[in-house]
Amino acid sequence: MHQSFINFRHYRYGLIAGAASLVTLATYMLDRPRVPPNGGTWLGYTLGTIAALLVIFLALFGIRKRSFSSTIGTAIGWLSAHVYLGLAALLIATLHSGMHFGANVHTVAYVLMCMVTLSGCWGVYAYVSFPGAMIQQRGNLRRSEFLRQIAELDSSSLELAEGISPRITQLLAEAARRTDLGGGGLWKQLRGRDESTLLLGIGAAPRHSRLVANANQRALIRALAEIRPGRSSNEVALSSVQKLLELAGSKAALLQRLRRETQFAALLRIWLFLHVPLCFALLAALCIHVVTVFLYW
């Protein structure tokens, strides 16, 4: 069986974290503090200390995964522990709080912890499910291969178009130039919307040119389909247009796969933009929480 960070060493860290959670939960439920449960009872202090140490341990994963020469456990083992103990840490911190929340730094630390954990959960989901989906839809093609194939389709189209008319050549050149490959800013990558455009009415003055949306090359295909070969047309020209349509269709399919690929890659990265900065904010809030609790004891 493939060993991932989920089932690392037969769910070793899952079991450890589960057992720790159960013990904590049982202690919390059996404990009868003299005040309503809160972070200031002996159990509250204990759980708080454990949760704080866990947070520091979880943050250390960021260092360990970059230390390729480190021999303290394996990176996958650390990741496995990071995921499972992270979930347990949130439970322990919740019990530490005694469910008391307010507009203060203590709740800010807790909310940050929740956000870090949630973004981590999204990361786990992405790491478990996206790579498989990406491989499946990518069909063993690299990104550069996609781009090469699209470029090939573009130049084949242009070659073919030359045999028909300069107007169609210009149309296809514009279509190639104005193709949206799915790249760009993070938000655009995440949305994965085809924002290709097409310039219509080239060289047809006094008819003015206009830009139209060309998602999935639909506008191009429509424009090609509307071409009526002139009186001088022959079978060759007609079959060339037919060929152009095929090429446009293939390009649309390739573009869709490329965009999806880009979208997956963005989704795989975006959670780190939340997880890591929020983790640092959490560490800051946690330190302030600990200091201020005792500053105004």
Partner 1 sequence: MLICLIREVTGSAPAANRPTPGTVFQTTELTIGSAPDQHVQVPHKDVDPQHAVLRCLPGGRLLLTALGPKGVMVNGRRETRVQLDPNDTLQLGDTTVKVEPPDPHSNEQYTCVLRVTDPYTPDETSPAAASHSGMQAPRFTISFWSWTLTLGVAAIFLLVPMGTFLAPSMRKLLRSTPLVPSDALWSSGPLHAAHRFIGNDCTACHVKPFERVRNSECEKCHADVQHHVDVRTADVALFDRERCAACHFEHKEPATLVLRDQRLCTDCHARLDKLKSDPQIENAADFGTHHPEFRLAVLSQNELVAPGQWAPQWLDANNEATFKETSHLKFSHAQHLNPKGIKSPTGERVLQCADCHRPNSSGRQMMPIRMETQCSGCHSLHFDEHDPTSGVPHGSLQSMFRVLHEHFSAQYLESTGPTTRTQTDRLRRPGQEARQMSIDEQRRARDWADTESLKMARELLEKRVCVDCHDVTRVLGATGFDQWQIASVRLTQNWMPRARFNHAAHITQPCTSCHNNAERSKRSSDILMPRIAKCRECHGDASDTSKLSSDCVMCHRFHLPQRGRFDPAATQARASQ
**Which burial class, exposed, middle or buried, applies to 140 when counting CB atoms under 10 A from its CB (0-12, 13-18, 19+)?**
exposed
3-class state of residue 212 by DSSP: strand
Please, which residue, 21 or 217, has the CB nearer to partner 1? 217
The stretch near partner 1 (CB under 8 A) out of 16-24, 142-150, 217-225, 240-248 is 142-150
Alpha-carbon distance of 122 to 271, in angstroms, equals 7
Q: Does 262 engage in binding with partner 1 (CB under 8 A)?
A: yes
Helix axes 75-97, 105-138, angle to 10 degrees: 140
Q: Which stretch of DSSP H or E encloses residue 199?
A: strand 197-200
Q: Does 190 engage in binding with partner 1 (CB under 8 A)?
A: no
Figure out which of the listed residues 15, 26, 45, 100 binds partner 1, where binding follows CB under 8 A. Answer: 100
Task: Report, in Å, the least distance between residue 220 CB and partner 1.
Answer: 12
The stretch near partner 1 (CB under 8 A) out of 34-42, 83-91, 122-130, 131-139 is 34-42
Q: Does 30 engage in binding with partner 1 (CB under 8 A)?
A: no
Alpha-carbon distance of 173 to 212, in angstroms, equals 15
Figure out which of the listed residues 53, 67, 148, 242 binds partner 1, where binding follows CB under 8 A. Answer: 148
Q: Does 277 engage in binding with partner 1 (CB under 8 A)?
A: yes
Asked if residues 46 and 31 have their Cβ atoms less than 8 Å apart, the reply is: no
State which of positions 41-80 bind partner 1 (CB under 8 A). Answer: none
Q: Does 184 engage in binding with partner 1 (CB under 8 A)?
A: yes
Alpha-carbon distance of 17 to 254, in angstroms, equals 44
The stretch near partner 1 (CB under 8 A) out of 1-9, 84-92, 220-228, 281-289 is 281-289
Figure out which of the listed residues 154, 216, 224, 248 binds partner 1, where binding follows CB under 8 A. Answer: 154
State which of positions 200-259 bind partner 1 (CB under 8 A). Answer: 201-209, 211, 214
Figure out which of the listed residues 119, 196, 217, 240 binds partner 1, where binding follows CB under 8 A. Answer: 196
What is the dihedral sign for C-alpha 120, 124, 126, 131? positive
Please, which residue, 40 or 77, has the CB nearer to partner 1? 40
Figure out which of the listed residues 24, 189, 216, 240 binds partner 1, where binding follows CB under 8 A. Answer: 189
Figure out which of the listed residues 69, 71, 235, 294 binds partner 1, where binding follows CB under 8 A. Answer: 294
Nearest 10 degrees: Cα torsion 43, 46, 49, 54: -90
Figure out which of the listed residues 59, 105, 111, 118 binds partner 1, where binding follows CB under 8 A. Answer: 105
Q: Does 118 engage in binding with partner 1 (CB under 8 A)?
A: no
Figure out which of the listed residues 1, 30, 35, 72 binds partner 1, where binding follows CB under 8 A. Answer: 35
3-class state of residue 3 by DSSP: coil
Figure out which of the listed residues 53, 70, 131, 183 binds partner 1, where binding follows CB under 8 A. Answer: 183
Alpha-carbon distance of 268 to 132, in angstroms, equals 12
Figure out which of the listed residues 12, 65, 138, 143 binds partner 1, where binding follows CB under 8 A. Answer: 143
Q: Which of 199, 206, 191, 207 is nearest to 259 (CA)?
A: 191
Side-chain-facing half-sphere of 172: CA atoms under 13 Å: 25
Alpha-carbon distance of 153 to 176, in angstroms, equals 9
Please, which residue, 6 or 165, has the CB nearer to partner 1? 165
